[in-house]
Amino acid sequence: MPPVTKGLEGIVAAETAMSFIDGEKGVLEYVGIEIDALARHSTFEETVFLLWNRRLPLKAELDSFCADIRSRYELPPGMEQRLTALPKAAEPMHMLRTMVSALSLHDPRPNDNDVESARQKSLNVLGHAPTLVAYFDRYRRGLPIVHPDKSMSMAENFLYMLNGERPTPTMARALDACLILHADHGLNNSTFAARVVISTLSDVYSALTAAIGSLRGPLHGGANEGVMKMLNEIPTVEAAERYVLERLEKKDKIMGFGHRVYKAYDPRATYLKTLAKKLAEDTGNAALYEKSSRIEQVMGKAVAAKGIYPNVDFYSATTYHCIGLRLDLFTPLFALSRIGGWAGHIIEQLADNRLYRPEASYVGPHGVRYVPVGER
């Protein structure tokens, strides 16, 4: 048996043309385009087209792709009733995992998994998922459901359904950038889960459900919630330095810093930091941004030399708070974005499939005699 690599670290298990990462240099590219350029100039819809087709769209293609997604904003008949039958105390990520799985019940051919069918099913989930999250949040707060507006982009429409009013351009742009930044990131845990499931020639809904279950874990998509909880624990900007130094002295982790891949500044955090500052100023949350900035300054002096820098979760927490998201919606929003990447990997896997079947190194005993129950 070859040596065991726990967590599969360093093991190459797939080829992809979607995203490239150089953790030492702090580089992330989608199909060769730097993530910072996409965050500043693209849209989430265009980014999804890029990931799925390995090229930027022509204007007519982008218009058609956006129209196709918008035509799927409305939930299938019966889904709203199914959603409002859920307990209001349910966690949004559990709701999303369950309801994405339930979408398969409204698909007349849920098991078709040729590449074109996978695209269509992925578009269904991409269009429906923001509606599910917004509807559930309104329902659990006792507010009337706000139905989608097909004249709006995905980012605008989600905030409109969530808050009941059209978002400001700054808020919509901030959310759109966050969706772009989180759309894909190599063969991360949830993406691997999606590829493993679809490699069995299961269905798209099962693969995406598995990915959502993976993302829910606090070691994966739940990290941005931890950042916000940390910021809420620090009473003032002035208290930030003492808080950080005390945690470091105890060897406690500072949420939002360090990444398994990046040994340089997370390239997704660069533009997000600028965006978070403007959004905080526009929404009366300047003190929250200043608190974040102070934490980064202290951490820079203490651990930057060890290759520990802010990751995408650090400033996304401030951004999500400023656009009005409740804490337990942070990870669902991450999922809404990553559906674009997961689906791209599902399509990529189906185009050149090989069943995932790794081996395990047995470390148990051998030759153990079976003892009848009466002799035990």
> What are 46-101's pLDDT values in tens digits?
999 999 999 999 999 999 999 999 999 999 999 999 999 999 999 999 999 999 99
From the options 3.10.129.10, 1.10.230.10, 3.40.50.720, 2.60.120.650, give the CATH code of 223-322. Answer: 1.10.230.10
30 phi, psi to nearest 5 deg = -105, 115
Catalytic, out of 36, 176, 184, 313: 313
Residue 245 has pLDDT above 80, yes or no: yes
Catalytic, out of 259, 266, 321, 345: 259
- pLDDT tens for residues 204-241? 999 999 999 999 988 888 778 889 999 999 999 999 99
How far is 129 from 343, CA to CA, in rounded Å?
A: 13
Contacts of 181 (CB under 8 A, 6+ apart): 35, 39, 268, 271, 272, 312, 316, 337
Residue 22 DSSP class: E
Reported pTM: 0.93
Band the pLDDT of 184: cuts 50, 70, 90. very high
Q: What is the pLDDT of residue 226?
A: 87
Extents of the domains making up the chain: 223-322
Which one, of 262, 271, 341, lies nearest residue 38 by Cα?
271
Which one, of 85, 79, 45, lies nearest residue 64 by Cα?
45
Active site residue 259: yes
Q: What is the pLDDT of residue 259?
A: 86
Active site residue 313: yes
Residue 114 has pLDDT above 90, yes or no: yes
The beta strand positions in the chain, using DSSP E, are: 19-22, 27-30, 33-34
How far is 261 from 9, CA to CA, in rounded Å?
A: 10
Q: Parallel, antiparallel, or unpaired: how do β-strands 33-34 and 19-22 relate?
A: unpaired
- First-to-last alpha carbon distance for the chain, in angstroms, is 35
Residue 102 has pLDDT above 80, yes or no: yes
Q: What is the pLDDT of residue 41?
A: 96
How far is 100 from 86, CA to CA, in rounded Å?
A: 14
- Looking up tokens 């819809």 gives 45
